[in-house]
Structure 1
Amino acid sequence: MSVLHIVEVTKTFPGGTNAVDSFSLDVADGELVCLLGPSGSGKSTLLRMVGGFEQPTGGRITIDGEDVTHLPPERRPTGMVFQSHALWTHMNVFKNLAFGLKLRHMPANLIKEKVEAVLELVGLAGYGDRMTTQLSGGQQQRVALARSLVLEPKILLLDEPFASLDQHLRERLREEVRDIQQRLKITTLFVTHGQDEALSMADRIVVMANGKTEQIDRPDVVYRNPQTPFVAGFIGTMNLIEGEVQGGHFVRADFTVPLPIADGPATLAIRPESLDLAASDKPGASVHRVTDYGTHGLVDLDLADGTRLKSMVAHPDLFRAGQGIELLPRAVAAYRNNQQIYRSSP
């Protein structure tokens, strides 16, 4: 069992800035949880506190029931992989991986066995004699992962490990890391600001903003049922429209949608894939631009007051700039006072 508990953890930097504010999270044995948020949301600071590289101002961190809140990194059962790889360039790959094992006074034959096994695991068998400077960025990141895994940590910490790689390599590596994590069943806390990484890798996503939790849920739930306007706007592409509810209808410019909530201001949320279009001569919306991505099209639309919306369509060739359009939402959500108050089914 390798269970991580973060209880009411706070980090306040000099000057009174709260980087993390009363944050709590339980990560189950073998679970991969992603901390997702924009720069400055506190996700990396939180990860560094779990790893022992930052000290919390308040709160408690336990691993398998042991309080590790104030232990230094070398005394915690954690392994951390940094964005910068942090490899020793004067050592070859084998020595990079063996260093931590030597500090544990492990016999040389066992060190060799463990290093070779973990290199095989990350797809770098036979690379032990190479200098780290001779490796590509992706290979260096595999070595950084192997260096953490060879120590057999209870908790694996990943701090935006793919951020410096190109998109194709990033996609391939995240699949490989997820496969390794599931094979080893190692409890993992992963930081990223990339939505695709979070949605494709995580068992659960923690969306953070201003040091606090906005929503914790499975990736599909976070995408399909965001609980706050921030989550709705941050995860994927979302049309967020400010308007008024009057007599059971949401109104913005000439755009109206039935909405069975009390009158007053509201924010309407519609995913582009849930916004159907039909040609129309009535006042409403018009096509601003059409982009054909091959597999689908994206239509940028303007309401009468200039509000810009997006719709995903199967046949972009049916639309042209300036065309009048009727908007036909298949699923909507509504927010008031920063909370979801209504959600329709598609």
Structure 2
Amino acid sequence: MSVLKISDVTKVFAAGNVVAVDTFSLDVANGELVCLLGPSGSGKSTLLRMVGGFERPSSGLITIDGEDITYLPPEKRPTGMVFQSHALWTHMNVFKNLAFGLKLRRVPADEIKRRVENVLELVGLGGYGTRQVTQLSGGQQQRVALARSLVLEPKILLLDEPFASLDQHLRERLREEVRDIQQRLKITTLFVTHGQDEALSMADRIVVMRDGRTEQIDRPDMVYRDPKTPFVAGFIGTMNLIEGQVANGVFTRPGMRVPLPVADGAAILAVRPEALEIAAAADGEAHVHRVTDYGTHGLVDLDLGDGTRLKSMVSHPDLFQPGQGVHLTPRAVAAYRDNAQIYRG
């Protein structure tokens, strides 16, 4: 059983008095993969580095299985970290890269050989031990970096945007492989990314971060379908966010009126493109700006009368042309006020 607990952790960088992480708390259950997701500067990598021991918290507590590791150096922690840059030693072959950490821990030579060979098989690089790192592709190097962490048999695996430098197809294949390995080993994992697709496809739970704080912690499907703040709504996937006024149960924006059973006042209406139906109409409240055909579906860019740009996902993009008038029918909406959700339906 390996449980990670982060309690009220804050990190303030003295230079510029920058608060990178602000009273952050999170429990990661045994065998769970939790993704830290957010834009650059949200504090996700700083938080991961504090868990790994590469940064010292200004305050707060970090424990693994109840043991306080807050100020332990990296080599004293039961964690393994995989960096974006691979950080492999190019003067060593694959076997020596993996064996290095075990030698520092004075593991017997026969045990080192067994563990290195086993983990290379696990990451799909059986027989690659004698290869030089410079002879490997980017994807193979990332597998070696993962293997180097796993061979130490850590309680907690930390992944810091490990696929960011790879091309899209390789990224998709490797994230599937890493998720399979993580589930096979049942290893508790904290994963940092700014890629929404990676978070949605890999995580048991997603932590959306902004300015060092938590915006929402939830399952991937709930983060997408039920974002609790306007920031999460706009950050996860594609979302139409429309500012307007509610009066007498109707949300109004020039060229748009939607029933909305909330109190009168300013509000932000959120509608996913797949939930915004459109129909051709000469007197429609919006006009087609652009049509993009992706083969499996189409995306129609729309302009309201005041210039507001919206997007609608359609199954037959050939039915729409630039300049065409359309009626809008939102099938599902959410509404926000004062940075909180006030309606979903």
TM-score range for the pair, normalised by the shorter chain length: over 0.9
- Answer yes or no: is 1:135 the counterpart of 2:141: no
Q: How far apart, CA to CA, are the structure 1 residues paired with 2:250 and 2:323?
A: 27
1:46 and 1:109 mapped to 2: Cα distance? 37
When normalised by structure 2's length, the TM-score is 0.99
2-structure distance, mates of 1:254, 1:286:
10
Correspondence for 1:10: 10
Distance in 2 (CA, whole Å) between partners of 1:121 and 1:73 is: 24
Q: What amino acid maps onto 1:260 in structure 2? A: P
For 1:198-217, what aligned pairs fall within 5 Å after superposition?
A: 198-217=199-218
Q: Provide, for residues 186-236 of structure 1, a one-character-per-residue CA deviation record: whole Å limited to 9, x for no partner.
A: 000000000000000000000000000000000000000000000000000
The residue number in structure 2 matching 1:334 is 335
What pairs with 1:11-30 in structure 2 (closer than 5 Å)?
A: 11-14=11-14, 15-30=16-31
Q: Which deviations, in whole Å up to 9, do the C-alpha atoms of 1:67-95 show, x marking residues without a partner? A: 00000000000000000000000000000
Q: Does 1:252 align with 2:281?
A: no
Q: Give how far 1:283 is off.
A: 4.5
**In the alignment, which residue of structure 1 is the partner of 2:123?**
122
Partners in 2 of 1:261 and 1:279 — Cα distance? Answer: 30
SS at match of 1:163: coil
- 327-336 or 274-283, larger mean C-alpha shift: 274-283
Matches within 5 A, 1:186-265: 186-265=187-266
What SS does structure 2 have at the residue aligned with 1:173?
A: helix
TM-score, normalised to structure 1, is 0.99
Structure 2 CA distance, aligned partners of 1:279 and 1:30? Answer: 51
SS state at 1:213 partner:
strand
**Stretches of structure 1 lacking an aligned partner (at least 5 in a row):** none
Amino acid at match of 1:6: I
Q: Which residue of 1 aligns with 2:161?
A: 160
> In the aligned structure 1, how far is the partner of 2:23 from the partner of 2:297?
43
1:309 lines up with 2:310 in the alignment = yes
1:107 matched residue in structure 2: 108
Matches within 5 A, 1:81-100: 81-100=82-101
Q: Distance in 1 between matches of 2:66 and 2:263?
A: 47
CA–CA distance in 2 between the matches of 1:255 and 1:87? 56
Counterpart in the other structure of 1:277: 278
- 1:295 corresponds in structure 2 to 296
2:74 maps to what in 1? 73
- How far is 1:322 from its partner? 0.5
- Equivalence map 1:11-50=2 (5 Å): 11-14=11-14, 15-50=16-51
- Tell me, in whole angstroms, the C-alpha distance in 2 between the residues paired with 1:3 and 1:312: 41
Query: 1:148 — aligned with what?
Result: 149
- The alpha carbon displacement at 1:109 in A equals 1.1
Q: Which amino acid aligns with 1:11?
A: K
Q: Read off the aligned partner of 1:183 and give its amino acid letter.
A: R
Note the aligned Cα RMSD (angstroms): 0.5
Deviations 1:33-90 (A, max 9, x none): 0000000000000000000000000000000000000000000000000000000000
Unpaired stretches in structure 2, ≥5 consecutive residues: none
| Alignment deviations for residues 83-114 of structure 1 (CA, whole Å, 9 cap, x no partner) | 00000000000000000111111111111110
Deviation at 1:281, TM superposition (A): 2.4
Q: Secondary structure at the match of 1:89?
A: coil
Runs of 4 or more, structure 1, over 6 Å off, are: none
CA distance in 1, matches of 2:255, 2:76: 63
Give, in whole Å, the separation in 1 of the partners of 2:240 and 2:284: 20
Counting only pairs closer than 5 Å after superposition, residues 170-185 of structure 1 correspond to structure 2 as: 170-185=171-186
